[in-house]
Amino acid sequence: MENNLSRILEISFNLSTSEKTSVERVTGAELRFCTQVTSSNKMGTGVSRDIKVSVLEENRKRTLKKRMIYGGSVNGQRKWHSFVLPAICVQKESVILQIQMERSIGEANLDIELFEERARPHLVLYSIDNSGFGNLDDELNFILQNSISQSMQPVIDKDLKSKEDIIEEKFERIKASISENESIRTKRETLDCSLRPMRVNFRDIGWNFMIKPIAYEANKCVGVCKLPFSSFSSHTKHAIVQASHKTLSWSSTDWPCCVPIQLDPLSVLYYDRRNIPTFRYSYDGMVARKCGCR
């Protein structure tokens, strides 16, 4: 749409298809569009235009932002522009934004790119994740300490007194395990389940839909989950039971696994399923912050 003063472009955004979760709260938005110099002036000073961004609400128009942009000085030159918008204008399932650009005067002209898919105007939503992380039960520390204490002595059942050879064998294994643990306690400080640094490049793992960041510190959980557990580590009751069973019975049961028990989100800019650049403030479960045995 054009009049004798300006060029007006109205764009409708369907927000009902945006990938928001039930615990996300939209805190803001950013309108991004690309301009192209279609004819430069002879002076080579470039093309500047006054831009006004408004939201159309029922029977009224509300101006959100207004400023001058510079489009470049070379014919065919493209340039991206960004206008930060308040969250209140993107709370509904759809929004109509109006971009008003002053009318071109003289030879220099500037157009907003509409036809190339990746250069079309798009709306980026900013959100925060209101979910939290749960805590382990208060009695876990007591269970952990109690399990360590009990695992250091044999469990003798009265009904098994006739099988003293089996009990003695188990007892010797436990003593050998404890003795070994004591002799390498200093070494195990570096072997216990703990958080270690790990940097990941999205291109290396085939996540080419990620725009920014290209790489980040994801961290990893490495180490053993054997008794006695480190007092500063966090473990489930099941991990304690499994480790105790493994120690006492020396069976084919596996040791518990060292895994992330607390994960933080990462702010990312990526292409969604519709190939639209999307910013997510809280992309959940991307950074390991705490490790434990599970």
Domains and CATH numbers, the chain: 6-129 (2.60.120.970), 140-293 (2.10.90.10)
Bond before 256 cis per omega within 30 degrees: no
pLDDT for position 232:
47
- 167: enclosing H helix or E strand: helix 164-183
Write out residues in the chain with pLDDT < 50, as ranges.
4, 132-160, 184-186, 232
**81, 85, 278, 16 alpha-carbon torsion, rounded to 10°:** -130
**pLDDT computed for residue 173 by the predictor:** 59
pLDDT at 132: 44
Whole-angstrom distance, CA of residue 174 vs CA of residue 151: 8
* 3-state percent helix, strand, coil for the chain, nearest multiple of 5: 20, 45, 35
Residue 45: predicted pLDDT: 65
**C-alpha–C-alpha distance, residues 48 and 52, integer Å:** 13
Q: Model's pTM, two decimal places?
A: 0.45
